[in-house]
Structures are given as C-alpha cells and as structure tokens.
Amino acid sequence: MALQITDMKQFLMLILTQLLRFTTIELKDSIARVGGFLWYIVAGERREIVRENLKTIKGRVNESDVRRIFINFALVYSDILNIPNMTPSYLHSMVKSEDVDLLKIELERGKGVILVASHLGGMELAGPYLSILGYSLFSVAESKGPGMDFFRFYLHYRERFGSTILRLEEKRLAFTLIRLLKENKIVVLVGDRDIQGTGVDCEFFGRVTPFPRGVSLLAKKAGAPLIVGFMTLDTDTPRYITRFFPPLYPEDYDSVEDLMKATIELFEKEISMYPEQWFVFQRVWKEKSLAKRQIGQ
C-alpha cells in the first residue's frame, strides 16, 4: 500500500511539473494559495502542531499565521515542482542574494565550507541556485523516511543544476564529508531536526528538543567553517532572498557543545525573522526540563 501511495505521489508530481510549463506565475501562485488553504482546512493534526510551534516561537499565535504557513509552503512547493522547467537565467532572476560572497571568501581559505540550513523557506531551491552561481555543492538528504524509490525520483529536482545529493544513511558518510571538505567543497546539511534520533537535548526557544550533534562534530573534525544560511519568500525581491550569517569557526569554540549552542542561536534568529515560513509539521519539543543528555554536561 505504501508503495502504491509513493508511486501515486511521483505520478502527480510529474503531471504537475508538466502542467507548470504552460502556466503563468500569477495562475500558479493562485492555485498554490488555494491548495495551501485547502490543506490547512483538512490537516487537523498538523494544524495543531503548527499552532504549538508558532506559540513557542512567538509567545502567541493567530490563526491567520497558522494558515499562512500552509499557504507559504504551497507557494514554495510549486516552485520546487517547477525546477525541471527552469533555465539558469530564470532561476537567477527569482533570487536576490545577500552576503553570498561569504562562501567564496571562505573557500579561499581552503578548508571547505559547511553550509547549514533549517526547514525555513525555499531551502530546496537554495542548492540549485548556488549551483548556477558556480559553487560545487554536496547536500545530505534522508532516504529512509521517503523510501529509496522516491529518493531517487526526487533527485530529478534536487540535482537539476549540478548539486550532488548524498544519502544520510550511507555507512561511510562521515568519511565522505570530511574528504569533500578537504577537497575544498561545500557540504550542505539541515540541522534543525534530529531525524536519526541520536541527538542531544538542547534549549531551543526556551524549550527542550534534541538536536543533531553531527554538524558541529564534523566542523570540529574537519576544521571547516560553519555558515548558517537561508532562502525565504520575500515581497521586496523578485521572489526569494538569500542571507548568510557570518561564519562560525570551530577553533573559536572550546567544544562541540559550544559550537552547537552558537548554531542554535542563529537558527532561533532566522526563524524568528520568518516564523510563518518554518515548515516543520512534526512535533519538535519535549515537555520535560533539560535532562542528563543536555549539552554542556
């Protein structure tokens, strides 16, 4: 049954991608807004999760903000589905970059770059965009959850302009990432969810949630700078805006845990700027206080 559902999802994505070839941006966005609103109506449990997320981030929640997350996600996803139809010049015209030269500056140091993203805005579009700017990117993505068939299918979108996607579940992934950094490549990791269930408890917006330790550990092992960046929908730009925080240098932090704390603080900063674009529809926070697995202990 699960295989049939996956096959149907792939089929629908292919159909929508083809239809988008003949659709204006205005019509595409109108359809996406309607689709996002309908999803908001029927997604009862996920609505509750989004409410909890927003209340934790903002201290309060308006139903219009909850609805906006579903609509924003639909707008971004419609752009993701349109990636196979895009030319490099079209994608370039959709994005305004801020501080993207930070990547070039850090690569000149010769230690590679660990680019860390959260589930904020159009993170799936950031890889193709940076690729058309000439950066060699190697991103890590989960295959266990969606399944290998869908993982391979989705590469058609993720690798459209030259990015390389590595499986999170690869046995020698850590060695591969260290080698790539030593070759002065950019490694892209998503760091705001403990997908593998091996994280340590951290304080995040004043509550407890497990965070993956691997991002900061990799930076320490490889000596590579860690840059937190994001791409979000923005009404003052052609479509998206990219921003990068100043690099975090592993040698400036006494421990992996200290580097984790600094990274989490940047996640809090960017998500606070765009809370209606943090697309996390799973429960994040624990109800208990910081426990024995808390970082720094």
* pLDDT tens-digit series, residues 170-208: 989 999 999 999 999 999 999 998 877 788 999 999 999
Each residue's pLDDT, cut to its tens digit, for the chain (297 residues) gives 344 445 788 889 999 999 999 999 999 999 999 999 999 999 999 999 999 999 999 998 999 999 999 999 999 999 999 999 999 999 999 999 888 999 999 999 999 999 999 999 999 999 999 999 999 999 999 888 778 888 899 998 999 999 999 999 998 999 999 999 999 999 999 999 887 778 899 999 999 999 999 999 999 999 999 999 999 999 878 899 999 999 999 999 999 999 999 999 999 999 999 999 999 999 889 764 444 344 444
- Nearest-10 crossing angle of helices 173-182, 214-222: 40
3-state secondary structure of 213: coil
Distance CA(276)–CA(280), nearest Å, equals: 10
Backbone angles phi, psi at 222, to 5 degrees: -90, -15
* pLDDT tens-digit series, residues 241-269: 999 999 999 999 999 999 999 999 999 99
* Chain centroid, CA 31 distance in Å: 24
Strands, E assignment, 122-264 = 137-141, 164-167, 186-190, 200-204, 207-211, 226-233, 240-244
- Nearest-10 crossing angle of helices 44-58, 63-81: 110
- Could you please report the per-residue DSSP string of 129-157? HHHHTT--EEEEE--TTT-HHHHHHHHHH
User: What's the pTM?
Assistant: 0.90
Decide: 97 and 125 in contact? Cβ < 8 Å: no
Give me 62's structure tokens: 């308006």
| Strand (E) or helix (H) holding 19 | helix 2-20
